Amino acid sequence: MRVNGLVPARFLTIIAHMVIVIVILWSREENVIQCLPLNYTADEYNTKDTEMIIGLSVTLGLFVIELIGFIGGISMFMPFQSLLSTAAHASGAVALAFFLFQLWSCDYYWYVFAFCVALPAVGEIMTMIGVAFFRKGL
Contact (CB, 8 A) for 119 and 88: yes
Domain that holds residue 123: 5-135
Residue 92: the pLDDT is 97
**Phi and psi angles of residue 62, each rounded to the nearest 5 degrees, phi first:** -70, -30
84-130 confidence digits (pLDDT tens): 999 999 999 999 999 999 989 888 999 999 999 999 999 999 999 99
Q: How many domains does the chain have?
A: 1
Query: What's this model's pTM, rounded to 2 decimal places?
Result: 0.90
